[in-house]
Amino acid sequence: MKNKLIIPILLAGTLFVSCKEEIKQRNIEVNYPETAKKPVTDTIFETAVVDNYRWLEDDRSKETENWVKAENAVTFDYLSKIPYREQLKERLSELWNYEKVGTPFIEGNYTYFRKNDGLQNQSVIYRKKGDAEPEVFLDPNTFSEDATTSLGSLSFSKDGKTLAYSISEGGSDWRKIIIMDAESKIIKEDTLVDVKFSGISWYKNEGFYYSSYDKPKGSELSAKTDQHKLYYHKLGTSQKNDAVIFGEIPSEKHRYVGGYLTEDDKYLVITASTSTSGNKLFIKDLSKSNSKLVTVINDVKSDTYIAESRGSKLYLVTNLNAPNKKVVTVDASNPSPENWKDFIPETENVLSLNSGAGYFFAEYMVDAVSKVLQYDFDGKLIREVKLPGVGSSGGFGGKTDAKELYFSFTNYNTPNSSYKFNPKDGTYTSYWKPSIAFNSNEYESKQVFYTSKDGTKVPMIITHKKGVELNGKNPTILYGYGGFNISLTPSFSIANAIWMEQGGIYAVPNLRGGGEYGKKWHDAGTQLKKQNVFDDFIAAAEYLIAEKYTSSDFLAIRGGSNGGLLVGATMTQRPDLMKVALPAVGVLDMLRYHTFTAGAGWAYDYGTANDSKEMFDYLKGYSPVHNVKKGTKYPATMVTTGDHDDRVVPAHSFKFAAELQDKQAGENPVLIRIETNAGHGAGTPVAKTIEQYSDIFGFTLYNMGFDQLPNPPKEKIKS
């Protein structure tokens, strides 16, 4: 599928040995800044809700700015006293420093690919013609002095001669689009500004479609945005003259709108959504002048998109009456669901689809592990593609006339590698494998199935050094997400490799709310069933403890965004269960999340406090900000966020940290680490990422009682 609608959503082992058999209390003194209480009372369904820290929602105020500086001063003073923080940073830098090459793609006369020499803050786009040596085509490291301006999407005109690419400044979701002559690398016209949640889809060589909102009044980082519009930009014209294609009139008002072209440029496909699940679908025949918009689906009860077309025959991927998705065909002249015919029927495993070289590639998740089947355009099964191992694959996409395709493969202890695939005979050869100072053979992954509170079986993959002793004393990170139909499939992480290199265990359960088992699995963790997600996570922790992988004294829980909510809810419901909590860029105020930026689009998963008294009571019952209890001993906590996060605004994290600092009993520290000039995570410079992980791992180990690294790097011999 090309230019799909973009909707944001949200490793014989060395054992850890502490200086003492018992976990000892840390001795770094923490003096938290004074956080003023300025009560604001909301009455929702006749219930008064007091918000003492509403003032921290104002991201433009001097008072909030001063609070951020004061909290960071305390946090970084604490972190600076962890004795092995610099050792972690050095080892992360050392292991990170290997060449990384992305899978190539062909545009015009060139083959393009991304490459990072090792510690470059942003990956560089290279290209080569034929067998010539590659040249630098686009270097995002030159976009800004501090490397916080990153490259978003790339899209070439049909002939490959013109490029439109988006950039993000300071991690913001607001983007700019720059248009460049691909041959000369000269910028062609004025930059497009104020673009958000958008693909870039070319119509021939004439112009492209993109999406955005009107710039909000007030703060562009937190003000609500809920009327998305699809625009067409014709090359050589001013952005102010760009035509609105969809989303201008009241009947077309939706929170997310996207548009893309079928490969033959015949059909413009428009998707429209009010939430992150479910979409309406329309097509417009561009081969006919003044053609009308044709409705394919006029409700948001399914996730459906057009993957390919052949003449007037459309190939759609849908979960309408097929929770695990299937592929159907229909004629564009009458494309409504009653005329659909099954092409690749639904199976017991979740389907995702790619196409290239005249074939479809159906990737299935079998207990979160990839299986790939190749079909022709008549629906005939050609073969199962035998992958290099058990893990996650990606790719197999390309143009219809492509002679070869590329795919990637990874798992928790195997770095991402790419392969060149021959679609005619199903053979493939290694295209690129990393040279990294990490021996995958020393590590192992095991998938287990544990039982959640209500009897549901939940899979979890546990990865660690071979030979680890199950004595209940292994520092363990339990990582989860559990929402928005997102699937956590095996993938390699340099940071996690460092954790496991030190003897740590890394465990990832596939919680309800995710997409690993289709729409039913997703729906089982939404709205009035959201507690299932937290119960699944708690049960995963209890399994690890019962099986003696770890114990509460050596367990850390971690998650970001919706996973930050997961950590916040789990630590407030079961503060006894873990030693360390690491909520990152979390959705933590469940009564007000829908009032910021595009937050209202998450209502499919969460519901809102305005929906009903039942929904309000349910949200209030688990909302982390509203469930911090005075006098409770919470685990050592480091909240992390970015001051430019306009996806999950940092006020969530600010208010949660303030509540914890005010009400914490005992001596476990509660810190907030606020990255400045940074957003929700995408495009974060490598240098900042390394600093973040050295702080996260340092904080975690130190609060588990370790005065030195269990497996310290060997001293380098000085010449």
Q: What is the distance in angstroms between the CA of the first residue and the CA of the last residue of the chain?
A: 56
Burial zone of 34 (CB within 10 Å; 0-12 exposed, 13-18 middle, 19+ buried): exposed
Helix axes 531-546, 562-573, angle to 10 degrees: 70
> For 468-505, what is the HEC assignment?
CCCCCCCCEEEECCCCCCCCCCCCCCHHHHHHHHCCCE
Helix H or strand E segment including 565: helix 562-573
Note if 594 is an active site residue: no
Position 415: which residue type? P
Give the active site residue among 233, 464, 594, 680: 680
For 493-543, give the DSSP string. Answer: -HHHHHHHHTT-EEEEE--TTSSTTHHHHHHTTSGGGTHHHHHHHHHHHHH
632 secondary structure, DSSP code:
B
Own/partner pairs, 18-22, CB within 8 angstroms, 24+ separation? 18/704, 18/705, 18/706, 18/707, 19/705, 19/706, 19/707, 19/708, 20/705, 22/705
Q: Would you say 540 and 557 are in contact if contact means Cβ atoms under 8 Å apart? A: no
Cα(143)–Cα(150) distance, rounded to whole angstroms?
A: 7
Give the active site residue among 561, 623, 653, 694: 561
State the sign of the Cα–Cα–Cα–Cα dihedral 569, 572, 573, 574: positive
Cα 313–Cα 316–Cα 319 angle in degrees, nearest 5: 155
In the beta sheet, which residues pair with residue 361? 354, 374
Token pair belonging to 570? 């789990």
Note if 680 is an active site residue: yes
681 secondary structure, DSSP code:
S
Position 586: which residue type? G
How many CB atoms are located within 10 Å of the residue 290 CB?
Answer: 4
Total count of residues recorded for the chain: 719
The catalytic site residues sit at 561, 680
